[in-house]
Structure 1
Amino acid sequence: MTSECFIHHWLLDISSGSLIHQQTGEQRRLGEYQLKLLIVLVQHAGKILTRDELNTLVWERRVIGNNSLPNAIHALRVALEDDGKQQRIIKTIPKKGYILEADFCQFRREPAETEEDEVSVEENLAEPLAEEEIREAPDAALSEFQVAQAEWNAATQQENERLTAIRQAKRNRIWRRVSLVQALALVALVALLLVIRQAGPRNDMTMQDEGVYSNIRLFELTRSYDRLATREDINNLLSSTLFALNQMMASQKVDMDVFFFTSGSTLNYTLALKNRCERRQLALNISQWHTDLSELNDLIYRETERKLNEMATCINESGSVNAAGADYRAD
């Protein structure tokens, strides 16, 4: 038996990642983390969840901005037609966290034939059981709500696992397609580096912002004979991402050199990671990279983190371990 969850007349449809109005059929799509946040709030309806708990349950310890959670809460209030000032459905508890009022949660088990099958905290607790009823069926109303909620939680977990498997399969197909492109890009970059080395004074490699990062060095490859080439300040464009990566690398005792150059609308970006026991390298050719700097930062962070997590674990002379496979993520 499955259960459906309604929040203030809105059906939470996990498969489509949206809210569907019971009467009008209006559909409102939610973002990935907005959907995860709402599911977590429903699973803990009536309970105050701290910011740290929500960050762990929803963003899974990713590094996120201070406004990510408040912005997601605001988006859910707008979608559920909740007044931001009165906060009837999702409440902000000062210095504690957030709570989804259980009175607004209803769990319906397999679209019921009678109204008795619809279970809500408000209905079950509005009329206390008589003493005789309590003796015959103690906590009957509450247990019925808990059963429906548990069934919904189980169905939600299965649906999340199914959607995760679909997304992972899609990512795998994408990576299989781009792996060849990356290999060709690496070969092309290596060939370019050889040309630069052999071309003498016609080519140059300049370090950008030396000393800004403890574990990262940036090198711009330029060709002195290409007068149309424009200098790009990668540090300025990727500063927040590079600072976050630098902290990660400092904690794991990994150094990174970045070599880049631009060709038309394409950014050729190569990173080389090195620790005491291993070296890793990744080359990226990013087209139209100036179009969306937020997407560029996300791509650089994600691919660098992935390569870093592939590095072997090193044990230094004192016996301590540098866990190069630690789990760091960004929002």
Structure 2
Amino acid sequence: MTADYIIHHWYVDFSSGTLLHQLSGEERRLGEYQLKLLLVLAENAGKTLSRDELTALVWERRVIGLNSLPNAIHALRAALEDDGKQQRIIKTVPRKGYILEAEYCQRVSSTNAYELAKIPALDGDAPLTSEDGVEASEPESAPPSESLAVSAPDTTPFQPPTRRFWYWLVPAQSVLLLGFIIWLFVLPMLAPVTKVTERDAGVYSNIRLLELNRQHEQNFACEDLHNQLRTAFYPLNQLLKNQQVKMDAIFFGSCTSLNYTLTLKNSCDHTQLAMNILNWRTNAALLTALIYRETERKLNEMENCVN
């Protein structure tokens, strides 16, 4: 069973790929290879691992791009709130590789490990401690000569509850019924409706373009995206066809940003990449190069299933 770790106040649950902050309770998720990279670094905390060692341990026999490891390191630093310039937790050792500082890494057992990541609850039986961490002693008991005051028992006769309870029962039930009706009928009408529409159907054999439409939001991508990315989609389609890979590209664009998510699938593997591209309409050449480069990088990370 894979051990769990606490790294810089983040509890890492490798079974679910989840990071849980010990103080705020915030949850974050990591990708498959980012999680494997963090596990390798944690198991070798305090030891410098070369690029070749990390590539072999994390990606094994897969063919990856030159930027796959640096991009994964950058993602881990962002998830662990590690400053990329100071590099307190994950350090880059020039010409040698990377190291996870042991002082920020704590191995924990699987027993109650998830509760360990949460904010500790107050325990009434726990000993009091001073600011210096020294256990505070219990107050000394009173001398035998000092008598303790004992309160007399309450002799007030029991009185049954008044009927005022029934006066509030009907209004309370009415409020609950009204809230249930609002939750059942009104809220679904106010919730935004999301619709997915396929664009340029039949143009590409291995690429499917899906436009995301949200109620009350205008999509600016459908008019310009195909024209700007045509020079990238045609060679990408041929590359995907040669490697027997299908791609779904889901997009939603505003005036200033483009949300673009691609999913690659073949008979034995699949991968996904989500991007938020700012000022995407200003330079078609840069947009085309970015989409082609990142798609090719994710394609190279997939397992080759071609016979």
**TM-score, normalization by structure 2:** 0.41
User: Of Structure 1 and Structure 2, which has the larger fraction of its residues in helix?
Assistant: 1
**TM-score, normalization by structure 1:** 0.38
Larger Rg over CA atoms: 2
